Amino acid sequence: MRRQVLLASLLTLAVTPAAASAATITESVPLPGGVTEPSFAVPYPGSSDVLVADWATDKIWRLPSTPFAGNGNEVGPLGDGGAPLSASLASPSAMAFRRDGGLLVADTDHHRIRLIKGGVVTTVAGSGEDDGGGDGGPATDADLLHPTGVAVLPDGESFLIADSANHRIRRVDGDTGLIQTIAGNGTDAEVDGPPLAASFSFPQALAVSANGKKLYVVDRVGRTLRKIHLDSNGDVATLAGPASGDTTPANPWDHVPPTGTFAHDDSALTAGFSPMGLLVLADDSFIVFDAGNDRVRRIKNGDVETIVGTGVRGDGPDGLDALATDLNSPVGGYVNADKDLVVVDAGNRKLRTIKGLQLPSVVKDPPAKVDQLPAEPVTPPAEPLLPVPLAPVPAPQMGKSVGVKPGSGVVRFRRAGGRSFTLLTEGASVPVGSVLDTREGSVTLSSATGGGKVQSASFSNGMFEVRQKPGSAVTDLHLRGTLTGCPKASSKPTARAAGKKRPTRRLWGDGKGKFRTHGSSAVATVRGTKWLTEDRCDGTLVKVQRGVVDVTPVRGGKTVKVRAGGQRFVRQRRAR
């Protein structure tokens, strides 16, 4: 039985509702039969369509009725580099559009954030491991654990992640692709204070204020709404909650919080919540989707009021005052083009539209360039969809060309003699002398060894130039990139310099064959292994995780075999 996971909540648009008594639910649209447990919905830019994530079937739908992403097989190959309908998703939850039109998806049970852009799916955060490490490095190397929320920052490219089961909020820089924890010490608790000392209990959903200076967080198990200052070192503060009435902690693996936490509508700090999502409003008030209490509520100036729902779990009916309509686990919502509030009524598998709230202002995500997204829905295939076959890539030629195929993350390449890098989106043949940039991803490299034979290995987390001499079966990979910030040879070490992080350039390799990685001070010759070559200011480190590597100093010296679990550092020797 598959483990149930957290449902994510919505953060996309913001509105300022009027009195709830003027609002009526005029329409409820049943979701397509293929949607089992909707977790999130977001308007599709430039049309009246809506994207709905379904955590139970591992798919995203484009309403009215078209599959958009996910092949329904959570345990199959990820499908990075392929079409959205061929990709594997595992409990997709939150979604957010970047300014360039790319759609970020919290792929919760794959422990990754995926990007759908230009008809191609890639991983932009998460290694698939789940121990919470990776701060300061590429986001694709970081370990996420059931990420459920994602929010795009005002620059349109950087984004925040609710790293839920690691109890942290993390930021990915849009320019560098590096990840950093901005709040949460990793412990499961509800403690306010300085961001990195504060603690969270399964942060579920994220929303950024209209001015981009504050982040609001739904803390799932603690049933609270928290605030983080993004432009200062202000403390994390609780704005609403904790739960009143039934104070039994919510089970983070239940898709809906337990009922019985509602206390009253008045002071937000004592009202009692079981929230799953929120919308931040233009005046910094909020709409909270209180799934466990079957209500939609508004918080303003520290007070809370119910604007939709009776608090009784049920289904409608439509056409009544919003306060007389039963809901069943509202998990999120959005504002449509008519400025009406649309609620994802998850338990009823419906989208309910509430008119009459008088929504004069809307805070939107960064505008998407819709021309980079599929213009029209794709007709669902009658048979299981297979990846579209690409044009055959020419076989590698010894000393002339190699084959490269992107793996996870983002890979760029610069052809030999070229001046600029190009995004690698599919398998290609590139000439020897080309430079591959895998600092944000991984690539499979294939080269000819003679006699019609080909060798392949995977390389990641570095930049390197490919070389191969005519007639030689050995493929050489030379680390590229500048080591900035190294002290001058004549300078004396200081305590301040010793405390700084050492600049490095590195490359991971994984595979068998006649490959050599070249650092500034040492060469690593592969014997079938997984290994790291890392240049530092004072030399080159070779570390072996699996197999055996021969390490040879560049400027003369003895070759040493390094076995699994071992490493060798070759100190830089300057030419005389």
Q: Is the pLDDT of residue 94 over 70?
A: yes
Question: Which residue type sits at 448?
Answer: A
Whether the predicted pLDDT of 311 surpasses 50: yes
At 26 the pLDDT is 66
Question: Which residue among 320, 354, 372 closes a domain?
Answer: 372
pLDDT tier at 2 (50, 70, 90 boundaries)? very low
Q: For residue 100, with 0-12 CB atoms within 10 Å meaning exposed, 13-18 middle and 19 or more buried, which class applies?
A: middle
Of 478, 434, 475, the C-alpha closest to 457 is 475
Report whether pLDDT(576) > 70.
no
Is pLDDT at 407 greater than 60 in this prediction?
yes
In DSSP terms, 193 is beta-bridged to: 236
Name the residue with higher pLDDT: 203 or 21.
Answer: 203
**Domains held by the chain: number:** 2
In this predicted structure, the answer to whether residue 450 has a pLDDT above a threshold of 60 is yes
CATH label of the domain that carries residue 418: 2.60.120
Highest mean pLDDT among 95-104, 122-131, 333-342, 513-522: 95-104
Overall average pLDDT of the 112-136 stretch: 88
Cis peptide leading into residue 258 (ω within 30°): no
Exposure of 277 in the CB half-sphere (CA atoms within 13 A)? 37
Q: Is residue 152 part of a domain?
A: yes
E strands in 50-146? 50-54, 59-63, 66-69, 92-97, 103-107, 112-117, 120-125
**With left for phi above 0 and alpha for psi between -120 and 50, is residue 12 left, alpha or beta?**
alpha
Task: Choose the weakest-confidence range: 23-32, 271-280, 283-292.
Answer: 23-32
Q: What is the pLDDT of residue 318?
A: 84
Cis peptide before 317 (omega within 30 of 0): yes
Q: Distance between CA 292 and CA 398 in Å, rounded? A: 64
Same domain, 349 and 436: no
- pLDDT at 363 (0 to 100): 52
Residue 187 · residue 196 · CB < 8 Å: no
347, two tokens: 């338990």
- In this predicted structure, the answer to whether residue 17 has a pLDDT above a threshold of 60 is no
In the block, residue with structure tokens 């981009």 = 212
Instruction: Extract the tokens encoding 331.
Output: 């998990």
The per-residue pLDDT for 134 is 87
Q: Structure tokens of 433?
A: 């002398």
Q: What is the mean pLDDT of residues 55-67?
A: 88
The reply to whether 196 falls in a domain is: yes
Q: Which two tokens stand for residue 60?
A: 């995203």
Query: In this predicted model, what pLDDT tens digit does every residue of 225-274 receive, in sequence order?
Result: 899 998 877 899 998 876 544 444 455 445 455 554 666 777 878 778 88
Q: Does 552 lie in the same domain as 436?
A: yes
pLDDT band at 61 (very low <50, low <70, confident <90, very high): very high
Residue 576, in any domain of the structure:
no
User: CA angle, corner 124, sides to 204 and 205, nearest 5?
Assistant: 10
Tell me the residue range of the domain where 335 lies. 24-244+259-372
Residue pair 175/144 in contact by the 8 Å Cβ criterion: no
Average pLDDT, the chain: 81
Beta bridge partners of 287: 279, 298
Q: Is residue 321 part of a domain?
A: yes
Side-chain half-sphere exposure of 447, counting CA atoms within 13 A: 30
- Of 322, 352, 372, the residue at which a domain comes to its end is 372
Which residues does 375 contact at the CB level (< 8 Å), separation at least 6?
A: none
Report if residue 17 sits inside a domain. Answer: no
pLDDT of residue 75: 77
As a whole number of Å, the CA-based R_g of the chain is 26
Average pLDDT over residues 325-353: 89
pLDDT at 408 over 70: yes
Strand partners, 169: 162, 183
CATH at 323:
2.120.10.30
Whether pTM exceeds 0.85: no
- pLDDT tens per residue across span 158-207: 999 999 989 999 999 998 999 999 999 999 888 999 999 999 989 999 99
Same domain, 330 and 437: no
- 315 and 421 in a single domain? The answer is no
Give tens-digit pLDDT for 130-151.
666 789 999 999 999 999 999 9
**Tokens (6 digits) for 119:** 């008809």
Q: What are 571's two structure tokens?
A: 């100190």
**How confident is the model over 386-411, as a mean pLDDT?**
74
Structure tokens at 434: 């080309």
What is the pLDDT, as a whole number, of residue 409? 75
- Work out the average pLDDT over 285-298: 88
Same domain, 412 and 302: no
In a domain, 377, yes or no: no
In the chain, what is the straight-line distance between the N-terminal and C-terminal CA atoms, in Å?
A: 67
> What is each CA distance from 511 to 60, 126, 445, in whole angstroms?
35, 22, 10
User: Which are the contacts of 60, defined by CB distance < 8 A and separation ≥ 6?
Assistant: 51, 52, 53, 54, 67, 68, 69, 70, 84, 89, 92, 95, 105
Cα separation, 281 vs 210, whole angstroms: 7
407 and 327, same structural domain? no
> What value does the mean pLDDT take over residues 312-334?
88
Mean pLDDT of all residues in 60-81 = 88
Question: Going by C-beta distance under 8 Å and a sequence separation of 6 or more, which residues neighbour residue 162?
Answer: 8, 94, 106, 147, 148, 149, 150, 169, 203, 204, 205, 206, 217
Supply the pLDDT for residue 528.
67
| pLDDT of 494 | 46
Pair (310, 458) in one structural domain: no
Domain finish residue from 372, 393, 426: 372
Q: Are residues 342 and 419 in the same domain?
A: no
| Domain match, 203 and 325 both | yes
Q: Which of the listed ranges 169-178, 315-324, 481-490 does the model predict with the highest average pLDDT? A: 169-178
Residue 5: which residues within 8 A CB-CB, separation 6 or more? 55, 91, 93, 108, 109, 146, 148, 253, 255
The string of pLDDT tens digits covering residues 528-569 is: 688 999 998 889 999 988 888 999 998 778 899 998 888 999
**Residue that is written with structure tokens 């104070």 in the block:** 247
What pLDDT score was predicted for residue 334? 87
Residues 296-312 as b/e (b if ≥16 CB within 10 A, e otherwise) read bbbbeeeebbbbbbbee
Q: Are residues 223 and 293 in the same domain?
A: yes
Residues 408 and 368 grouped into a single domain: no
Residue 379 belongs to some domain of the structure: no
State the DSSP string of 384-432.
---PPPPPPPPPPBTTTEEEEEEEEEEEEEE-TT-SS-EE--S-EEEET
| Structural domain contains residue 35 | yes
Task: Examine the domain organization and report whether 365 and 438 are in the same domain.
Answer: no
pLDDT exceeds 90 at position 69? yes
Q: How confident is the model at residue 392 (pLDDT cuts 50, 70, 90)?
A: low
Identify the weakest region by mean pLDDT among 19-33, 316-330, 448-462: 19-33
pLDDT value at 386 more than 70:
no
Q: Contact, 346 vs 256, CB < 8 A? A: yes
Confidence of residue 122 (pLDDT cuts 50, 70, 90): very high
